[in-house]
């Protein structure tokens, strides 16, 4: 058994870190976590101890995407909180046999400074952005150092590219964040067509995004939604409770109707338009939808990994800005679509609704689009692959277990 510290910096990174930590714990390793950004809920949900008190910031660690975001992080104290996390790491690093990085240059550099053996899952970078990955300084130097014992990438293109750049083997073994959505779920009630609404998970951006999504739904033909031909499902996190949701809906001219506790879901209504509110059924929404209308990061990646077409709706940020959306399209490829136009303008919302109807029909009737979705799922996420039926988290955990065995050959090898 070894002591392992997970070091991550973002909500999606925390999710992958928690899944990887659970897989390592199954191999009898003692695992703790240090999320440098965000509240670390995925670790708590997985029962993994945190070694630092966490804080929630409105930028969600994505302030670098704009000058306003950088200033917000300074005012809210996020930079000081990040530095405090790095100082904590340097103080306690000697307790651990291995530091596992899930993220980008910040945790990579922090782990290198800890002077402990490091394994890196470089989930935040991909060669799909530009064709050749340009690692920010000093990320490449840290990954090439002797302290970094292994590097894993988020796709095969990046693995091949980085193996050449770093002059060391870089492996692609899958993406842990795809593991939960690949598990079979009870489907949502049948409907001829279904659109899933993904507003993201960070507040207060979540509320801003949801307002825009509601305005797009208002542009869809009311008879289509009233007839039951088209089902709309909102995948919503518990952070936005019923009281806040009802107030937001009322301000936008919608009503939150309670469920009856049996078969009837909570729903948002405006006239004959209805949106089913799905809490704790995110995976079912992804799997059951023909199209995802998305204002999120990791959720869009998971949708593409499930071979679903994604339609972006750009918001005001701090995450889902025009720049972020454009970068996401480069990362995830041609099955991610976006209507042109100014953020939130009536013409943009109307164009998004029209494109949603077009893609919805194509998703079930266009074999070329369906094949392209399947091809890009494998190319961009590798989500359907895997050796011996193991999940991405299990494959990376197995490789880390091998690395620990090389460091400490006196320890018996642990197998799940």
The whole-angstrom separation of Cα 114 and Cα 43 is: 22
Name the pTM for this structure.
Answer: 0.91
Could you tell me the two tokens for 77?
A: 């104290």
Residue 414 lies in a domain: no
The whole-angstrom separation of Cα 60 and Cα 306 is: 25
Q: What is the CATH number of the domain that holds 131?
A: 3.40.50.2000
What is the full per-residue pLDDT of the chain (416 aa) written as tens digits?
899 999 999 888 999 999 999 999 999 999 999 999 878 999 999 999 999 887 665 555 544 444 455 545 544 557 788 899 999 999 999 999 999 999 999 999 999 999 999 999 999 999 999 999 999 999 999 999 999 999 999 999 999 999 999 999 999 999 999 999 999 999 999 999 999 999 998 888 999 999 999 999 999 999 999 888 999 999 998 778 999 999 999 999 999 998 765 556 899 999 999 999 999 899 999 999 999 999 999 999 999 999 999 999 999 988 899 999 999 999 999 999 999 999 999 999 999 999 999 999 999 999 999 999 999 999 999 865 444 457 899 999 999 999 998 877 655 555 44
Residue 97 lies in a domain: yes
The whole-angstrom separation of Cα 215 and Cα 218 is: 5
Could you tell me the two tokens for 180?
A: 């939960």
Quote the DSSP letter at residue 377: I
The whole-angstrom separation of Cα 161 and Cα 141 is: 15
Domain shared by 235 and 132, yes or no = no
Quote the DSSP letter at residue 199: -
Domain shared by 16 and 79, yes or no = yes
Domain shared by 26 and 168, yes or no = yes
Number of domains observed in the structure of the chain: 2
In terms of Cβ atoms closer than 10 Å to its own Cβ (0-12, 13-18, 19+), residue 371 is exposed
Residue 319 lies in a domain: yes
Torsion of the alpha carbons at 97, 50, 92 and 24, rounded to the nearest 10: 0
Query: For residue 37, what pLDDT is reported?
Result: 85
Contacts for 66 with CB less than 8 Å, ≥ 6 apart: 317, 318, 321, 323
Domain shared by 166 and 214, yes or no = no
Could you tell me the two tokens for 73?
A: 């992080």
The whole-angstrom separation of Cα 384 and Cα 391 is: 10
Domain shared by 174 and 194, yes or no = no
Residue 412 lies in a domain: no
Domain shared by 397 and 305, yes or no = no
Residue 104 lies in a domain: yes
Q: Which residues pair with 274 in a beta bridge?
A: 269
The whole-angstrom separation of Cα 198 and Cα 53 is: 29
| Number of other CB atoms surrounding residue 290 within 10 Å | 20
Q: Which residue has the tokens 């939150």?
A: 256
């Amino acid at each position: 058994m070894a002591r392992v510290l997970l070091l991550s910096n973002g909500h999606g990174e925390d999710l992958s870190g928690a899944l990887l930590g659970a897989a390592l714990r199954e191999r009898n390793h003692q695992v703790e976590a240090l999320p440098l950004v965000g509240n670390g809920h995925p670790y708590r949900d997985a029962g993994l101890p945190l070694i630092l008190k966490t804080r929630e910031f409105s930028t969600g660690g994505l302030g670098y995407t704009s000058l306003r975001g950088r200033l917000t992080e300074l005012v809210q104290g996020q930079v000081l909180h990040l530095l405090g996390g790095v100082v904590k790491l340097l103080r306690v690093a000697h307790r651990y046999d291995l530091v596992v990085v899930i993220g980008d240059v910040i945790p990579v550099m922090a782990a290198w400074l800890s002077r402990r053996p490091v394994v890196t899952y470089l989930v935040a970078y991909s060669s799909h952005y530009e064709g050749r990955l340009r690692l920010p300084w000093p990320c490449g130097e840290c990954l090439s150092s002797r302290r970094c014992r292994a590097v894993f990438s988020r796709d095969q293109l990046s693995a091949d590219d980085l193996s050449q750049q770093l002059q060391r083997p870089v492996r692609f073994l899958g993406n842990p964040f795809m593991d939960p959505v690949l598990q079979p779920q009870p489907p949502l009630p049948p409907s001829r067509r279904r659109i899933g609404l993904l507003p993201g998970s960070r507040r207060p951006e979540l509320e801003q995004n949801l307002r825009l999504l509601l305005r797009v739904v208002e542009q869809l033909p009311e008879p289509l939604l009233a007839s039951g031909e088209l089902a709309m499902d909102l995948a919503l996190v518990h952070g936005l409770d019923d009281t806040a949701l009802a107030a937001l809906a009322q301000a936008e001219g919608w009503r939150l109707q309670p469920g009856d506790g049996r078969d009837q879901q909570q729903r948002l209504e405006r006239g004959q338009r209805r949106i089913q509110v799905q809490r704790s059924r995110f995976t079912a929404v992804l799997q059951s939808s023909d199209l995802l209308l998305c204002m999120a990061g990791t959720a869009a990646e998971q949708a593409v990994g499930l071979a679903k077409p994604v339609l972006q709706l750009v918001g005001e940020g701090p995450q889902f800005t025009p720049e972020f959306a454009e970068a996401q399209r480069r990362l995830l490829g041609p099955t991610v679509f976006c209507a042109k136009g100014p953020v939130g303008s009536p013409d943009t919302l109307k164009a998004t609704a029209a494109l949603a109807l077009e893609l919805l029909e194509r998703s079930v009737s266009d074999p070329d689009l369906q094949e392209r979705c399947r091809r890009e799922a494998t190319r961009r996420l590798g989500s359907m692959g895997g050796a011996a039926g193991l999940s991405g988290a299990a494959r990376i955990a197995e490789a880390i277990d091998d690395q620990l065995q090389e460091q400490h050959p006196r320890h018996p090898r642990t197998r799940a």
